Amino acid sequence: SPAQKLIFNRVNGKRPQVLLQQVSAPEECYTLAHEENVRFVYEAWQQVEQQLDGSRSGESACGPVQYIEKTPNPGLKNFVPIDLEEWWAQQFLAKIENCS
């Protein structure tokens, strides 16, 4: 039988807050420039997604174009993308096991 897979349900698409306190890890500090860069990239990506959605529904004739590979690379035929949700779940469980 296949291994059981942990599923973490998100509220409103947000990542759940971790309840474990990391004692040894220093708190991350973000500079104003870092926050500005993150905000810029986030807002720019939101615009691209809106324009892509608009072009799919026929609202706009020009705008971003989504790349779709016409001839797949034969070297990638056995490629399996990583399941980030599963990876995060494993990391979470490893932290719990290491703390106990």
Nearest by Cα to 30 from 42, 38, 20: 38
- The count of structural domains within the chain is 1
User: Higher model confidence: residue 76 or residue 10?
Assistant: 76
Residue 36 belongs to some domain of the structure: yes
pLDDT at 25 over 80: no
pLDDT of amino acid 43: 94
Residue 61 belongs to some domain of the structure: no
Question: Cα angle at 70 between 64 and 71, to 5 degrees?
Answer: 145
Residue 21 belongs to some domain of the structure: no
pLDDT at 7 over 80: no
Residue 44 belongs to some domain of the structure: yes
- What letter represents residue 97's amino acid? E
Residue 72 belongs to some domain of the structure: no
User: Higher model confidence: residue 89 or residue 9?
Assistant: 89
Report pLDDT digits (tens) over 27-40: 678 899 999 999 99
pTM: 0.39
Segments forming the whole domain that contains residue 34:
30-55
Nearest by Cα to 42 from 34, 32, 54, 31: 34
Residue with tokens 């759940």: 16
| Cα 34 → chain centroid | 19
H/E stretch holding 47 reads helix 32-56
